Structure 1
Amino acid sequence: MGTALYFDYRSFQSLSDPIGKVDIEDLERIHVWITAAFVGLWITGITLIYIRTGFQLEAFSPKLWTKISIMVLMTLNSFMVGAFIRPMMRNNMMRPMISLPPMQFAVATQVAVVSLFCWSSGLLLGSSAALKTAPWDVLLVIFPIWFAVLTIGGHLTIVFVRRRALGHFAAPAE
Structure 2
Amino acid sequence: MKSRDVWSLISKDVIKTNPEWKQKTYIQCENKWKDIKRKYMETKDHNNKSGNDPKTCKFYEDLEEVLGEKPCVKPVSLASNFNKRHRTIINSKEQNDFDEIFEDFESSTSQSEGLLKKKRKMTRVERELKDWSAALLADAKVREEARERRHREVIAESKVAIDIYKEMMGKLIDKL
TM (norm. structure 2) is 0.25
Q: Bigger relative contact order, structure 1 or 2, given CA contacts below 8 A and separation 6+?
A: 1
| Greater fraction helix | 1
